[in-house]
Amino acid sequence: MPVAQWDDIVIGSGLTGACVARTLADAGRQVLMVERGQPVSEPAGSHLRNRSDYRKDPDGWFGTVDRYVTYLDSDADDPALPGAYTSSIVGGSGILWTNNCPRATAGLDQPDHLQEREWEEAYRQAEIYLDVRREEFADSRRASVIRAALQDTLSEQGRSLCHLPLAGRRLGPETIHYSAPADVLAAGSRRVTRLDGSAERLELNGNQVSGVWVGETLHTTHHVVLATGAVDAPLMLWRSGIANPALGRHLSFHPVLATQVVLDEGSIAVSENDPLPRLGIPATPSHPWFVMVLRDTNPLPVDPSDLAVPPHRLVEIQAFGPIDPHPDNRMWLDGSGAVHFDVPIRPTDQERLNAIESDVMGLVQGLGRLRRGCEPRWSPPGTAHLMGSCRMGAEDGTSVTNQNGTLHGFEGVDIAGNAVIPTRLLVNPTLTSLALAIHGQRARLS
């Protein structure tokens, strides 16, 4: 094999690209990271929310996010996933995310191809790279009040509340340094070179990758990792002439039911310096969805008649209703290069979404009242956590990569990120995607 310019080329500078590049750089390899977007934060790839102007206006956050993403399906006549988006900025969605990092649960939604010990090692490394902290807000008085209000009902249902793991650290009672790709790369960046430009396609020599075309230039390598997000990974493979019957199928996502609650006045005597409440209700077999109860950012428009609520009495509930990764849930490209989606809500999905609505209303009643204008509302389909477009699994026509993320039938082409998740994941996916990516790259290097 001819000598290549780079040990590895990672396409995408989001959280996945950063964790993969860091894993490879920590093993002594020289990595080229290709990113089509421009920096919009300083240093490049740091979280935008760490800026003081965004800290002052937490509820404006989703408006800011909208400025940095491109919706793909919203102009279609009958959009299936109007919320599906890509980001083209240095750091990808990793400079926009809200940093909640629960682990998936063994036997419930965790992919079962790794041993318990392998999951533990991979999750722990991902948590180290992201600086995930479980109990950063454990002394929140509001969190104790919420626990006391919900505990009995939840335990009757076999459920419980936990601290919500956060990728970041507390700087003050209500101030957080949010982890982003720049933090992941900080310690390993000397071996990672970022190249601005759009990766157009892979150069293949038979079934072995030999490089990546960026504009008119071929950058040579024997190992490429596509960390381009769940939409762009299949697009890159199709553009490179790689077909696979499972490509773009088995899509899943999380419809998010969001609301804001005004905590009962009687129950909530707290000081203004009380740390933020940040709690989660893990999924169980009887309640297969994840709920967050936290004060973070409110995506809903508050009715002007209900603006005058003391901030320390406000809390958001967000519940993720997973969609089954049915083989016919798919995305594809038309002749003009436009992306289309077909991801219907099937009856079993709808039943679960109905149950989530009842569950959330029960939680609201335990805590206080709905803030006017912030009644529970589902986000547009596809907004959160598109998964499975290049799912991992056995080489039997139902999956795209093996269990380390390597493309079936090819050598040196790996896919990492939410695209490879094969299960109906119930929790926010990023930590699990990163754990799978780190495990896959370490397995390759060993």
Ligand X SMILES: Cc1cc2nc3c(=O)[nH]c(=O)nc-3n(C[C@H](O)[C@H](O)[C@H](O)COP(=O)(O)OP(=O)(O)OC[C@H]3O[C@@H](n4cnc5c(N)ncnc54)[C@H](O)[C@@H]3O)c2cc1C
Residue from 14, 277, 382, 422 touching ligand X (CB under 6 A): that is: 14
Beta-carbon-side half-sphere exposure of residue 303 (alpha carbons within 13 Å):
11
Question: Binders of ligand X among 187-206, rule CB under 6 A?
Answer: 198-199
* Distance of closest approach, residue 390 Cβ to ligand X, in angstroms: 11
> Is residue 294 a contact point for ligand X (CB under 6 A)?
no
> Is residue 228 a contact point for ligand X (CB under 6 A)?
yes
* CB-based contact 290:393 (threshold 8 Å): no
* CB-based contact 392:401 (threshold 8 Å): yes
Q: Return the CA Rg of the chain.
A: 22
Backbone angles phi, psi at 262, to 5 degrees: -100, 115
Residue from 22, 36, 223, 249 touching ligand X (CB under 6 A): that is: 36
Nearer to ligand X, 34 or 276 (CB): 34
Length of the chain (residues): 446
Nearer to ligand X, 236 or 261 (CB): 236
Nearer to ligand X, 161 or 184 (CB): 184
* Distance of closest approach, residue 255 Cβ to ligand X, in angstroms: 14
> Is residue 9 a contact point for ligand X (CB under 6 A)?
no
User: What residues contact 192, with CB distance under 8 A and at least 6 apart?
Assistant: 21, 22, 25, 31, 33, 185
> Is residue 136 a contact point for ligand X (CB under 6 A)?
no
* Distance of closest approach, residue 35 Cβ to ligand X, in angstroms: 5
> Which residue in the shown chain puts its C-beta closest to ligand X?
14
Nearer to ligand X, 86 or 262 (CB): 86
* Distance of closest approach, residue 367 Cβ to ligand X, in angstroms: 21
> Is residue 32 a contact point for ligand X (CB under 6 A)?
no
How many amino acids of this chain bind ligand X (CB under 6 A)? 36
Amino acid letter, residue 407: L
Residue from 23, 46, 50, 99 touching ligand X (CB under 6 A): that is: 99
* CB-based contact 164:318 (threshold 8 Å): no
Best CA proximity match to 62, nearest among 431, 383, 428: 383
Provide the token pair at 422.
């094969």
Q: What does the per-residue mask of binding to ligand X show for 372-401, with x meaning CB under 6 A?
A: -------------x----------------
Query: DSSP states of 248-265 as a string?
Result: T-S-EEE-EEEEEEEE-T
> Is residue 15 a contact point for ligand X (CB under 6 A)?
yes
Q: What does the per-residue mask of binding to ligand X show for 241-280, with x meaning CB under 6 A?
A: ----------------------------------------
384-387 vs 192-196, strand pairing mode: unpaired
> Is residue 317 a contact point for ligand X (CB under 6 A)?
no
The strands making up 175-178's β-sheet, listed across from edge to edge, are: 132-133, 166-172, 175-178
Residue from 6, 9, 10, 12 touching ligand X (CB under 6 A): that is: 12
* CB-based contact 92:181 (threshold 8 Å): yes
Cα distances from 50 to residues 47, 93, 95, 177, 315, in angstroms, run 6, 14, 9, 6, 21
- Positions touching ligand X (CB under 6 A) are 11-17, 34-37, 65, 87-89, 92-94, 96-100, 198-199, 227-229, 232, 236, 385, 417-418, 428-430
